[in-house]
């Protein structure tokens, strides 16, 4: 290692003093040796530094997991309500985010409540960066609240209990800000469908709903692009989930969900993620560690919760079709929500493709006018390429899309009912009255119709029948499992065996292996400090380094090809198995009356009420005075071009 101290030609001084090295480097073989030496020194140091980063991850993780309420928030939270104290206790809590130094929030400004997704990973993702939904709302002077959760559920807690707790939290926030507009609720990923479901049974609570990367129509997608929706079918339905909960002594391990995400992108999971750190070992550490602290800290879900999620949502698709009932018999229909709904999705999101984020609109409405008549304002925004997490973690998305939504919430509330697409135009392109718009972009809401959502592509009649077949197979197999196998499994499982199984999960074992717990890695921090002090990074045009990059690209290509082929195969199997006339007939789908996808319920009472409301609006056409006349007049002029004159 002492050799590494010489400023340039590392291993070579004995062969060639620095002064003649440039002359000799004219000989190709010598130059190559020189490069090999340079590469070798760098690689040795790099390995040590890389191992050190992995160890830091392990140690941080073990520390993180030992906490009662771990989270990865970059902000200071104060616990206001602990959901464990509620009538139906849940492991959720309402936090107030304290504004950072120099930022003052105004209690009379509309509060924002950000809901943390609980889809296997731990809490805090929505506020992992300063430049985030939370940070921007605070900077804009809004009071910000955060709904987070503990790593372990209260025994027996249900999704309905969580909805009730969330409704309680929101109503409290309304109470605390009597002079402000109704709160804006932001639900990321899983939290998106959760707050949609909550609002469907508590329609008066929200001011505006922002659903970011939230899947609501789980069958939706297109052939060759969205393989994750076949997962339920390929495991024979949800009996596997019941089994996992049984083995976990009533708890479902979120690590399995994280594993699902990882398997969907093998080149990233098995190579790119770590190679990226290795290849940028001097700079990438902090970012990797920050992300890993969230990604590799899975939490637990209750048996009742996960069974509802998989049965009613993933496999049954009941939320989009308005078929979920509370235990008290209330039907959760997303059409009940009268506050504007902003759906933010991305074509680059392979976990919640736009079809799954928006499909529910097609399930619930059969004509554009129905949306207007129902009084619902739905705004969607489709990002071209950002990935799933980027929707709520990326700084660039935060500073553009979220910033614009947050600063225009009042405007969203004035929008008349209908379906709109939020379009962001750079001020440079659209410079007309640029000073009237804030930031670098002009935000506008363009009228859209159901046709625009249909154009995203979706299932054919035959596809829907396949998913319906999955749902029935799932029910049957789960019934068999629950009746004949589950009792046996449960009799063998204890909390101890369940804990041991969870600790052995590859996601946790891998993290714990690279940590201070492993005596083989004891010297790594020291070696890393030494390597850092004597660091000699390889030059980017080094022949061997370039070879390494090429090999890495090859590995990525191989893994991607494998993934593509596997996805094709899975899709083919899914289509064949669940499209089989025999199987469909056996589960009762091919009866004399042809299968019809369950449509959202219609209710004469509701429709009459709807018509009465429209009539009432039109009856008021001559009611009012100057304010009405001026507003109507201005809107009439500004609507020029919308009605063909």
Partner 1 sequence: MSVVRDNAVDEREYKMLLHLRSESSVFPSMTHDEYKALARQQYMMLLLDEDRAIRAIPALLDRAGGSEKQAFDVIRRVVEASGTPTLEEERRLKRLSELFNPANATPKRRSTDGFPTEEDEITA
For partner 1, which is the closer residue by CB, 455 or 480?
455
For partner 1, which is the closer residue by CB, 438 or 608?
438
Cα angle value 466/472/477 (rounded, 5°):
120
C-beta pairs of 407-414 under 8 Å, 24+ apart in sequence? 407/140, 407/438, 407/439, 408/443, 409/110, 409/181, 409/184, 409/207, 409/208, 410/110, 410/181, 412/208, 412/340, 412/342, 412/377, 412/379, 413/181, 413/207, 413/208, 413/339, 413/340
| CA atoms in the 13 A half-sphere facing the CB of 109 | 18
C-beta pairs of 512-520 under 8 Å, 24+ apart in sequence? 512/58, 512/61, 512/62, 513/58, 514/51, 514/54, 514/55, 514/57, 514/58, 515/55, 515/57, 515/58, 515/59, 515/61, 515/62, 516/55, 516/58, 516/59, 517/58, 517/62, 518/58
Q: Which residues bind partner 1 (CB under 8 A)?
A: 181, 372, 408, 410-411, 413-418, 420, 423, 432-433, 436-438, 442-447, 614, 617-618, 620-622, 624-643, 645
Can you give the C-alpha Rg of the chain in angstroms? 28
For partner 1, which is the closer residue by CB, 423 or 577?
423
For partner 1, which is the closer residue by CB, 509 or 629?
629
CA-to-CA distance for 83 and 94, rounded, in angstroms? 8
Q: How far is the CB of 427 from partner 1 (least distance, A)?
A: 11
CA-to-CA distance for 482 and 242, rounded, in angstroms? 8
Q: How far is the CB of 362 from partner 1 (least distance, A)?
A: 21
DSSP state of 283: T
Look up residue 12 and give its two tokens: 């070579």
For partner 1, which is the closer residue by CB, 438 or 554?
438
Q: How far is the CB of 438 from partner 1 (least distance, A)?
A: 7
Q: How far is the CB of 547 from partner 1 (least distance, A)?
A: 52
For partner 1, which is the closer residue by CB, 313 or 412?
412
| CA atoms in the 13 A half-sphere facing the CB of 548 | 17
Neighbours of 437 (CB within 10 A): 18
Q: How far is the CB of 422 from partner 1 (least distance, A)?
A: 10
For partner 1, which is the closer residue by CB, 14 or 638?
638
For partner 1, which is the closer residue by CB, 293 or 402?
402
For partner 1, which is the closer residue by CB, 259 or 421?
421
Is residue 45 within 8 Å of 529, Cβ to Cβ? no
Q: How far is the CB of 401 from partner 1 (least distance, A)?
A: 14
Q: How far is the CB of 205 from partner 1 (least distance, A)?
A: 16
DSSP state of 436: G
CA-to-CA distance for 191 and 299, rounded, in angstroms? 15
CA-to-CA distance for 317 and 328, rounded, in angstroms? 21
For partner 1, which is the closer residue by CB, 582 or 640?
640
For partner 1, which is the closer residue by CB, 82 or 413?
413
Q: How far is the CB of 60 from partner 1 (least distance, A)?
A: 43
For partner 1, which is the closer residue by CB, 384 or 622?
622
Q: How far is the CB of 615 from partner 1 (least distance, A)?
A: 10
Q: How far is the CB of 616 from partner 1 (least distance, A)?
A: 10
Is residue 173 within 8 Å of 96, Cβ to Cβ? no
Residue 418 pairs in a beta bridge with 377
Is residue 20 within 8 Å of 13, Cβ to Cβ? no
CA-to-CA distance for 10 and 35, rounded, in angstroms? 10
Residue 146 pairs in a beta bridge with 95, 114
Q: How far is the CB of 613 from partner 1 (least distance, A)?
A: 10
From 73, 166, 87, select the one nearest 123 (Cα to Cα): 73
For partner 1, which is the closer residue by CB, 338 or 597?
338
Q: How far is the CB of 415 from partner 1 (least distance, A)?
A: 6
Is residue 469 within 8 Å of 587, Cβ to Cβ? yes
Burial of 227 (C-beta count, 10 Å sphere; 0-12/13-18/19+): buried
Q: How far is the CB of 74 from partner 1 (least distance, A)?
A: 29
Give per-residue burial for 197-226: e unless 16+ CB within 10 Å, then b: bbbbbbeebbbbbbbbbbbbbbbbbeeeeb
For partner 1, which is the closer residue by CB, 152 or 628?
628
End-to-end CA distance of the chain: 80
Q: How far is the CB of 424 from partner 1 (least distance, A)?
A: 11
């Amino acid at each position: 290692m002492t050799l590494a101290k010489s400023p340039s030609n590392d291993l070579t001084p004995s062969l060639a003093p620095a002064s003649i090295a440039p002359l000799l480097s004219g000989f190709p073989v010598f130059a190559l040796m020189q490069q090999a030496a340079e590469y070798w020194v760098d690689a040795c140091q790099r390995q040590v530094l890389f191992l050190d980063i992995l160890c830091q991850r392990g140690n941080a993780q073990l520390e993180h997991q030992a906490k009662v309420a771990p989270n990865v928030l970059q902000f200071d939270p104060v616990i206001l309500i602990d959901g464990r104290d509620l009538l139906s206790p849940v492991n959720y809590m309402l936090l107030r985010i304290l504004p950072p130094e120099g930022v003052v929030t105004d209690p009379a400004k509309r509060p924002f409540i950000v809901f943390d997704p609980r889809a296997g990973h731990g809490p805090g993702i929505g506020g992992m960066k300063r430049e985030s939904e939370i940070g921007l709302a605070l900077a804009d002077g809004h009071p910000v609240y955060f709904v987070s959760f503990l790593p372990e559920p209260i025994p027996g807690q249900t999704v309905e209990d969580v909805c009730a707790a969330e409704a309680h939290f929101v109503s409290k926030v309304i109470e605390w800000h009597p002079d402000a507009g109704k709160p804006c609720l932001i639900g990321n990923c899983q939290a998106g469908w959760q707050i949609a479901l909550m609002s469907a049974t508590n329609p008066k609570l929200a001011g505006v709903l922002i659903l970011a990367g939230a899947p609501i129509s789980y069958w939706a997608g297109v052939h060759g692009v969205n393989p994750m929706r076949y997962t339920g079918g390929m495991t024979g339905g949800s009996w596997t989930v019941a089994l996992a909960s049984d083995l976990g002594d009533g708890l479902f391990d979120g690590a399995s969900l994280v594993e699902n995400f990882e398997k969907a992108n093998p080149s990233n999971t098995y190579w790119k993620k770590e190679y990226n750190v290795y290849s940028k070992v001097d700079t990438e550490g902090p970012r990797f560690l920050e992300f890993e602290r969230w990604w590799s800290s899975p939490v637990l879900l209750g048996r009742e919760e996960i069974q509802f999620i998989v049965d009613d949502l993933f496999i049954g698709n009941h939320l989009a079709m308005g078929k979920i009932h509370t235990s008290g018999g209330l039907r959760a229909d997303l059409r009940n929500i009268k506050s504007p709904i902003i759906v933010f999705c991305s074509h680059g999101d392979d976990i919640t493709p736009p079809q799954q984020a928006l499909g529910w609109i097609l399930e619930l409405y059969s004509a554009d006018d129905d949306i207007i008549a129902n009084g619902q304002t739905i705004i969607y925004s489709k990002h071209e390429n950002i990935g799933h997490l980027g929707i709520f973690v990326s700084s660039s998305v935060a500073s553009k899309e979220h910033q614009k939504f947050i600063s225009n919430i009042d405007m969203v509330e004035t929008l008349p009912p209908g379906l709109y697409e939020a379009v962001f135009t750079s001020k440079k392109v659209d410079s007309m009255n640029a000073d009237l718009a804030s930031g670098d972009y002009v935000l506008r809401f363009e009228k859209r119709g159901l046709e625009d959502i249909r154009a995203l592509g979706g299932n054919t009649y035959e596809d829907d029948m396949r998913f319906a077949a999955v749902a029935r197979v799932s029910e049957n197999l789960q019934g068999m499992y629950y009746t004949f196998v589950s009792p046996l499994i449960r009799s063998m499982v204890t909390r101890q065996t369940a804990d041991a199984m969870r600790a052995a999960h590859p996601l946790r074992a891998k993290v714990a292996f690279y940590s201070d717990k492993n005596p083989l890695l004891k010297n790594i921090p020291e070696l890393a400090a030494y390597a850092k002090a004597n660091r000699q990074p390889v030059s980017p045009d080094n022949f061997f380094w370039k070879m390494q990059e090429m090999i890495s690209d090859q590995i990525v290509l191989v893994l991607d090809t494998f993934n593509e082929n596997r996805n094709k195969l899975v899709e083919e199997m899914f289509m064949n198995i669940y499209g089989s006339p025999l199987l469909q007939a056996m589960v009762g789908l091919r009866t004399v009356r042809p299968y019809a996808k369950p449509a959202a319920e219609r209710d004469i009472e509701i429709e009459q009420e709807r018509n009465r409301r429209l009539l009432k609006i039109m009856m008021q056409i001559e009611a009012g005075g100057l304010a009405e006349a001026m507003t109507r007049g201005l809107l009439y002029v500004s609507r020029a071009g919308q009605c063909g004159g």
